[in-house]
């Protein structure tokens, strides 16, 4: 009989969002007349921007013509997209070369796959609560994970610990808490990583939601970060690509890892080797669509899209304030992290919302021990549904 990777027996049977979806489907099947409003998984609802659609349509035409048809593309992404991303960083005074950018089908995939280039002996550090992918992928690989508590006392923005770690996962704006690190806070982590010769795996999937110029959108705004950080970005939440799939990861050329005998190797070279072996790139027409968001029209459309979702966030935070509920996030971030009312556990509050007012959120306990007693709502629904969900939740809480 074939042996399995035993570490798979150490992770929960289902991924958090699959579990939620299973419970919601069961409720929907038993209550077909109820209108369920989903503020659970962070999935976007607005259609792709017009500029993206136009670019994709033009790319489809190219694929129909033998003179412009494309087969396999570069595994790292087409130059037109890598150059556009590089130029966007440059416009923010950050120098990222095109060959430091790897286009992919998602930040979640890259965050999961990046472990391939690191030893399973590394100590992993995550904050708790945490996006479950950081934890599960490392349990699957058999790495030791250590936690740093993110809680109301530190406003869900923990400082580096006083123990050693080799691989540090950070997310800002944070999923699930909606907290956003200041430059000073991020610098503390960069300094910690440099001191510990560790790598920061910086999940910047929600960077486009930061409107405050004082807050860093990229870890490379911090001095020294290129020597210790890989950055993951995504078009999913920026431009509505959750179903279309396109993202990119930055691996600076000066970032090294250590070999057992004590030598150094560039992680860019290792990641390139991994991607060229295991990945055949993102479809041409998807990359054409992604590149369109860097045009003037695309930038305007993305700004409007983010403005719309942040308008939803403002509606949610206003309703929670009125109901006297403590919450975090919802500013410079599309997630709202609230304290469950009446001392309910996060799954109890989940069931109450689902059963009594047919609204779906995400129980904080699904993100870790410190998430117990908290609950996450997203700003990604339609305006109409967001308003209705807030009315329903307020009605329930004010009873």
Site residues (CB under 6 A) for ligand MLT? 41-43, 108, 175
Q: Output 220 or 367, the one with its CB closest to ligand MLT.
A: 367
Q: Output 289 or 361, the one with its CB closest to ligand MLT.
A: 361
Minimum separation from the CB atom of position 112 to ligand MLT (A)? 10
Query: Which tokens in the block code for residue 4?
Result: 């399995």
The residue nearest ligand MLT at its CB is: 42
Q: Output 245 or 339, the one with its CB closest to ligand MLT.
A: 245
Q: Output 41 or 353, the one with its CB closest to ligand MLT.
A: 41
Q: Output 32 or 243, the one with its CB closest to ligand MLT.
A: 243
Compute, in degrees rounded to 10, the torsion defined by CA atoms 356, 362, 367, 369. Answer: -20
Contact call for residues 9 and 360 (beta carbons, < 8 A):
no
Minimum separation from the CB atom of position 130 to ligand MLT (A)? 11
Q: Output 158 or 173, the one with its CB closest to ligand MLT.
A: 173
User: Length of the chain in residues, anyone?
Assistant: 399
Q: Output 113 or 175, the one with its CB closest to ligand MLT.
A: 175
Closest to 12 (Cα-Cα) out of 375, 389, 368, 280: 368
Query: Which tokens in the block code for residue 153?
Result: 């006392």
What is the helix (H) or strand (E) element at residue 235, kind and residue range? none
Minimum separation from the CB atom of position 231 to ligand MLT (A)? 16
Query: Which tokens in the block code for residue 105?
Result: 């089908």
Please, how many CA atoms are within 13 Å of residue 312, restricted to the half-sphere of its CB? Answer: 27
Minimum separation from the CB atom of position 42 to ligand MLT (A)? 3
Query: Which tokens in the block code for residue 212?
Result: 């405050």
Minimum separation from the CB atom of position 378 to ligand MLT (A)? 7
Contact call for residues 172 and 186 (beta carbons, < 8 A):
yes
Buried b (16+ CB within 10 A) or exposed e, 359-382: bbbbbbbbbbebbbbbbbbbbbbe
Minimum separation from the CB atom of position 179 to ligand MLT (A)? 15
Contact call for residues 52 and 298 (beta carbons, < 8 A):
yes
Minimum separation from the CB atom of position 175 to ligand MLT (A)? 5
Query: Which tokens in the block code for residue 334?
Result: 């599309």
């Amino acid at each position: 009989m074939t042996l399995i990777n035993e570490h798979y027996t150490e992770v929960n049977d289902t991924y958090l969002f699959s579990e939620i979806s299973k419970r919601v489907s069961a409720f929907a099947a038993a209550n077909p007349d109820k209108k369920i409003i989903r503020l659970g998984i962070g999935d976007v609802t607005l259609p792709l921007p017009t500029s993206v659609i136009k670019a994709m349509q033009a790319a489809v035409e190219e694929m129909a013509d033998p003179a412009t048809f494309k087969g396999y593309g570069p595994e790292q992404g087409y130059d037109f997209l890598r150059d556009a991303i590089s130029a966007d960083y440059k416009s923010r005074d950050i120098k990222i070369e095109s060959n430091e950018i790897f286009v992919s089908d998602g930040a979640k995939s890259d965050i999961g796959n990046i472990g391939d280039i690191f030893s399973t002996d590394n100590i992993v550090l995550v904050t708790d609560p945490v996006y479950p992918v950081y934890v599960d992928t490392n349990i699957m690989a058999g790495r030791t994970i250590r936690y740093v508590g993110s809680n109301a006392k530190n406003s869900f923005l923990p400082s580096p610990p006083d123990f050693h770690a080799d691989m540090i996962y950070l997310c800002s704006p944070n999923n699930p808490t909606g907290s956003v690190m200041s430059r000073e806070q991020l610098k503390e982590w960069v300094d910690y990583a440099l001191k510990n010769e560790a790598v920061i795996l910086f999940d910047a999937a929600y960077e486009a939601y930061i409107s405050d110029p004082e807050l860093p959108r990229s870890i490379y705004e911090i001095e020294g970060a290129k020597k210790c950080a890989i950055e993951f970005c995504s078009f999913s939440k920026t431009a509505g690509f959750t179903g279309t799939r396109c993202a990119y990861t930055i691996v600076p050329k000066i970032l090294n890892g250590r070999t057992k005998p004590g030598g150094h190797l560039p992680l860019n070279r290792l990641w390139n080797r991994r991607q060229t072996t295991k990945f055949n790139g993102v479809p041409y027409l998807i990359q054409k669509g992604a590149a369109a968001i860097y045009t003037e029209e695309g930038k305007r459309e993305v700004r409007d899209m983010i403005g719309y979702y942040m308008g939803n966030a403002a509606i949610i935070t206003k309703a929670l304030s009125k109901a006297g509920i403590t919450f975090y996030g919802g500013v410079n971030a599309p997630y709202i992290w609230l304290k469950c009312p009446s001392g309910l556990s996060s799954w109890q509050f989940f069931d109450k919302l689902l059963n009594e007012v047919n609204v779906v959120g995400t129980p904080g306990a699904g993100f870790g021990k410190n998430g117990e007693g908290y609950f996450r709502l997203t700003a990604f629904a339609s305006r109409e549904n967001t308003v209705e969900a807030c009315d329903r939740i307020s009605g329930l809480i004010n009873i």
